[in-house]
Amino acid sequence: MDNREEVREFLTSRRAKITPERAGLPSGSRRRVPGLRRSEVAALADVSVEYYAKLERGNLAGVSPAVLEAVARALQLDVAERAHLLNLAHAADGSDVLTRPRRRTTQWKAHRSLQWVLDAVTAGPAFVRNGRMDLLATNRLARAFYDDIYATAGNQANLARFNFLDPASRRFYPDWDQAADVAVAILRTEAGRNPHDKDLHDLVGELSTRSDAFRTRWGAHNVRHHGTGTKRFHHHTVGDLTLFYEGLEMAAAPGLTLTIYTAEPGSSHEEGLRLLASWAATQNVGSPAEQSAG
């Protein structure tokens, strides 16, 4: 993931999304690009056309925060896109960014107190994941909830790999396209935040090679912060579930997210989670702490 190429494609793709009307500019005629012209972005950011062209060629090294913020405003970037642009600029400022060796991340394991916290959540799936979408720690209900992922060793407990390479994901995610978009946006965000992660490079390479759907989405350069919302699922044992989720960044472990799913109180989906918990007990599905204790 060459930094200059990343910058170029990200800025170009964001520029293509902004119409003149949306930017408050006259549309005119004979427009050869789907969005704004470089000159229009330069004018909105109050920089010269030559300077903006240099930025869009991928050269963010040494660019001031004020200019980055002006470009972000001109391109109407959201919070996640702004953060991604800053991450790309930070990577560009490293003189060894193109030569620094990629590193594998050290194996992370939940400490006992965190696992106790997860196990204390009994009404909904609770789990910890990293930016590569590896499931690192779960409670009993999350282990049962993601039973399809653990059933196939090749998934390696990775949500993105399951999403794009396992046919079971098409059933598990009724809104599969939306789930696929989110998965790729999370990986793209992590690539900007941690550009030297060898495991992430390997995962992106694998998915790009084996999945046209992933490769197309990866090329869109969309990013997002995945904090709160609602999702639909179909579990092979309890059927349809509509769940609310909250994702919390872990202060003690930057880059990791604790996510908890829950159902509306009194709803059929809450009953579905209770049935799932009962099924998990009969199948002896437990968290790592429960399994080791057993």
- Comma-separated ranges of CATH 1.10.260.40 domains in the chain: 3-92
Encode 7-34: b = buried (16+ Cβ within 10 Å), e = exposed: bbbbbbebbebbeeeebeeeeeeeeeee
Supply 187's token pair: 């990986």
Q: How far apart are CA 14 and CA 223, in angstroms?
A: 11
Confidence of residue 3 (pLDDT cuts 50, 70, 90): confident
Q: What pLDDT was estimated at residue 255?
A: 87
For 221, counting Cβ atoms within 10 Å of its Cβ (0-12 exposed, 13-18 middle, 19+ buried), the class is: buried
Mapped onto helix, strand or coil, the DSSP state of residue 207 is helix
Residue 138 identity (one-letter amino acid): T
Mapped onto helix, strand or coil, the DSSP state of residue 235 is strand
Q: How far apart are CA 64 and CA 62, in angstroms?
A: 6
Nearest one of 269, 292, 293, 290 to 118, comparing CA atoms: 290
Strand order in the sheet with 239-249: 135-138, 126-129, 257-262, 239-249, 228-235
Q: What average pLDDT does the structure give for the chain? A: 90
pLDDT(162) > 90: yes
> Quick check: 88 and 6 in contact, CB under 8 A?
yes
> Quick check: 205 and 191 in contact, CB under 8 A?
no
Confidence of residue 287 (pLDDT cuts 50, 70, 90): low
Could you read off the pLDDT of 180-225 as tens digits, one per residue? 999 999 999 999 999 989 999 999 999 999 999 999 999 999 999 8
- Rounded mean pLDDT, 132-152: 95
DSSP state of 270: H
Q: What pLDDT was estimated at residue 288?
A: 55
Q: What pLDDT was estimated at residue 1?
A: 59
Pairing of strands 135-138, 228-235: unpaired
DSSP state of 29: S
pLDDT(157) > 90: yes
pLDDT(285) > 80: no
If residue 175 lies in a helix (H) or strand (E), which one and from where to where? none
Out of 3.20.20.70, 3.30.450.180, 3.40.50.720, 3.40.190.10, the CATH code matching 112-293 is 3.30.450.180
Residues whose CB is less than 8 angstroms from the CB of residue 292 and which lie 6 or more positions away in sequence, other chains included: none
* pLDDT above 70 as % of the chain: 91
Q: How far apart are CA 41 and CA 32, in angstroms?
A: 15
Please list the residues that pair with 259 across neighbouring strands: 127, 247
Could you read off the pLDDT of 68-101 as tens digits, one per residue? 999 999 999 999 999 999 999 999 887 434 334 4
* 97-106, 145-154, 221-230, range with the lowest pLDDT: 97-106
Helix residue ranges per DSSP H, 112-197: 112-120, 140-145, 147-151, 159-165, 168-172, 176-193
- Comma-separated ranges of CATH 3.30.450.180 domains in the chain: 112-293
228: left (phi over 0), alpha (psi -120 to 50) or beta: beta
* pLDDT above 90 as % of the chain: 78
Q: What pLDDT was estimated at residue 98?
A: 39
Q: How far apart are CA 156 and CA 223, in angstroms?
A: 24
- Rounded mean pLDDT, 122-149: 96
Q: What pLDDT was estimated at residue 31?
A: 76
Bigger pLDDT: 33 or 225? 225
CATH architecture of the domain with residue range 3-92: Orthogonal Bundle (1.10)
Residues whose CB is less than 8 angstroms from the CB of residue 106 and which lie 6 or more positions away in sequence, other chains included: none
Q: What pLDDT was estimated at residue 93?
A: 82
Q: What pLDDT was estimated at residue 226?
A: 80
pLDDT(163) > 90: yes
Could you read off the pLDDT of 51-69 as tens digits, one per residue? 999 999 999 999 999 999 9
- Rounded mean pLDDT, 237-254: 94
- Rounded mean pLDDT, 91-113: 63
Confidence of residue 290 (pLDDT cuts 50, 70, 90): low
